[in-house]
Amino acid sequence: MNSGTTELDWFKSSYSGSQGDDCVEVAVAEQAVHVRDSKDLARPAFKVGREGWTRFVRFASER
């Protein structure tokens, strides 16, 4: 996992199923939003700027 992402407060979307599969987890930090695959924690997380994340969520919620 990328260094600096283990101490983040990760959470899953309220739209995630109760079985815990196929989920994306996010952690909001001061400068960025970190994203990881909850079923493959060995895969590195990535981060996106807060403005970019806001645009993504707005786009996704319109669908």
The predicted structure's pLDDT at residue 7: 86
CA atoms of 56 and 63, how far apart (whole Å): 11
| Tokens 């895969």, residue located | 43
Q: Look at the pTM and tell me if it is higher than 0.85.
A: no
Q: Where are the beta strands (DSSP E) in 1-63?
A: 11-12, 24-28, 32-37, 46-49
pLDDT band of residue 4 (cuts 50, 70, 90) is low
Region 17-30: mean pLDDT is 80
How confident is the prediction for the chain on average, in pLDDT? 84
Determine the structural domain holding residue 40 and report its residue range.
Answer: 11-61
Does 41 map to a domain?
A: yes
If one counts the domains in the chain, the total is 1
Region 17-26: mean pLDDT is 74
Does 6 map to a domain?
A: no
Residue 29 contacts residue 41 (beta carbons within 8 Å): no
Does 22 map to a domain?
A: yes
